[in-house]
Structure 1
């Protein structure tokens, strides 16, 4: 009662009454809304009115979240991009290695086929590096004296002649390439059989077929092979192809430019040939051997006649070469 207003100032129900009234009204509204959805429209209207206020209140939070997500996304994308770049680089290197291995395998198969077709001994070798002299065309290969490589041995691959061994070390050898200006190979035109000598050029990219008379039948596209007359290169090895023929009336020899058939500068796997030419005996040596046989037969006959007590003719020691040159008449 001490909280109730004075009697003179009473203007409505008491505070407890108002509390009970509003409490009952709240419960009734809750039940009506829960059971009958009576205030759904009111709720939607109020929600639409409060939506801009809610968006304005949530804007700072959304900005912070978006910024954080952006930085996280950029970092993740950069990490993923780096991983993909590394993987792409690895795959590119692996693909290059695979292509190189396939090409090397192809060259090795062709070299093996060439080695099986050749009737002479061969030594496989690999190009190690180029020499330091920029004015010469020479390479170092991985075969030397220990592999029975000899100075002057021809070097080929599956396409044709590469060069010639000019120096031999214990485990390595120096090969002067076919395109070197000081290198010369006796060749013949495969189509006509005309023989000549092919030289390297100062630039080291083309070959010159020299000493070809202007009347010689040589055409663009003719193939040149080794003729085997020098005793170094086996006959029939592919050397070059004619790409230009210049014949002038005021010159004795034609200018014939050729392109090497083998990839001289890019070849890696090679074969060193051990070509020993069968040297025929000199006619004088054959005659000397024949004369020695005749003398031995005559002396044996003389000895047998002496033993039998017959008269013999003494055969003096006659110089063999004098007999061959007609200095002594036959008996």
Structure 2
């Protein structure tokens, strides 16, 4: 007689064996993804497959936002409109000044034969939702590879730096916020020009400047901007303000705590920046010839003067023994006395 359990109650491998198998499989996938990047294609496929489900899940939230935005009061719209007009006028004035400075910069670089700086372009994006990992400060935006988003691109808003793109999907991208503990940005102190690197904190609300010597001139409310030394963030973007400076006795470095210049969690629309190749620099003939031959750049008269000055030999004193002074035809007295003077000098 067979005492084996019926097929319905067969359990297969034990729980410990299944635990070991799944742990080994998880470790293998982690190593393949972190070290060899073998799962990027699979991640792209999964992202494309889950995108329709994400849009369906976000549809109620978007509907509520649209309805609430439709019933905004008229006074609020008027105030916002007036504020936008004022800001538009200020930005228009700054744009005019920037155009003038840009043309002057391009002209000076052409004269000095400097390489043209790379230009920046921006892609407007909107935050869809926060990342699922509770231990990181990341958000997901609605732009991806098809919209030209690049991995490592800086993300900003109208006030300052927000974060950096760390992972790109075909239709979405993952942005690591500035306050993430693994995010680092090269910065520069506006008041003194001191350069350093600012890091996020584990709490995800403040920033920290590390390895700042105690003797460094840094004060509360000092502004920090991007230095541009990493080649990723363009220089001059506002990053943070100094909140607290702790200088302990006997410590070699000061502890500098900063607060982001703009709330990284309060933004909804963002700008993703990326570099574009500059157009070829074409020098005009006058500037190019002026660099190689200064005489040509200043005109024909200047060229003739330069040649005349180059061919002219400076005259030496007439009291040398072998050089006779010039004889003028207008004064016969000088013609008669000139040889006597020369003979006297020769003697």
The two structures have a TM-score, normalised by structure 1, of: 0.51
Specify the alignment match of 1:287 in structure 2: none
Specify the alignment match of 1:223 in structure 2: 223
Residue 245, structure 1, aligned to residue 245, structure 2: yes
Cα pair 1:159 1:263 within 8 Å, conserved: no
Specify the alignment match of 2:71 in structure 1: 94
Change (3 A) 1:91 1:131: closer
Cα pair 1:155 1:165 within 8 Å, conserved: yes
Per-residue deviation, residues 208-253 of structure 1 (Å, max 9, x unmatched): 0111100100000100000000011000000000010001122111
Give the alignment of 1:1-331 within 5 angstroms. Answer: 94-95=71-72, 99=76, 120-275=120-275
Tell me, in whole angstroms, the C-alpha distance in 2 between the residues paired with 1:120 and 1:257: 31
Per-residue deviation, residues 248-300 of structure 1 (Å, max 9, x unmatched): 1221110000000112001011111113598xxxxxxxxxxxxxxxxxxxxxx
Tell me, in whole angstroms, the C-alpha distance in 2 between the residues paired with 1:105 and 1:270: 22
Specify the alignment match of 2:43 in structure 1: none
Change (3 A) 1:264 1:108: farther
Cα pair 1:185 1:199 within 8 Å, conserved: yes
**Structure number with larger C-alpha Rg:** 1
Q: Please list every run of 5 or more consecutive structure 1 residues that lacks an aligned counterpart in the other structure.
A: 1-89, 279-331
Per-residue deviation, residues 182-215 of structure 1 (Å, max 9, x unmatched): 0000001000000000000111100001111001
Instruction: Tell me how far 1:134 sits from its aligned partner.
Output: 1.1
Change (3 A) 1:92 1:182: closer
Instruction: Tell me how far 1:95 sits from its aligned partner.
Output: 3.1
SS for the counterpart of 1:218 is: coil
The two structures have a TM-score, normalised by structure 2, of: 0.49
Tell me, in whole angstroms, the C-alpha distance in 2 between the residues paired with 1:148 and 1:141: 13
Specify the alignment match of 2:285 in structure 1: none
Cα pair 1:107 1:158 within 8 Å, conserved: no
SS for the counterpart of 2:72 is: helix
Moved more, 268-277 or 232-241: 268-277
Specify the alignment match of 2:60 in structure 1: none
Tell me, in whole angstroms, the C-alpha distance in 1 between the residues paired with 2:176 and 2:201: 13
Tell me, in whole angstroms, the C-alpha distance in 2 between the residues paired with 1:120 and 1:105: 30
SS for the counterpart of 1:155 is: strand
SS for the counterpart of 2:146 is: helix
Cα pair 1:231 1:277 within 8 Å, conserved: no
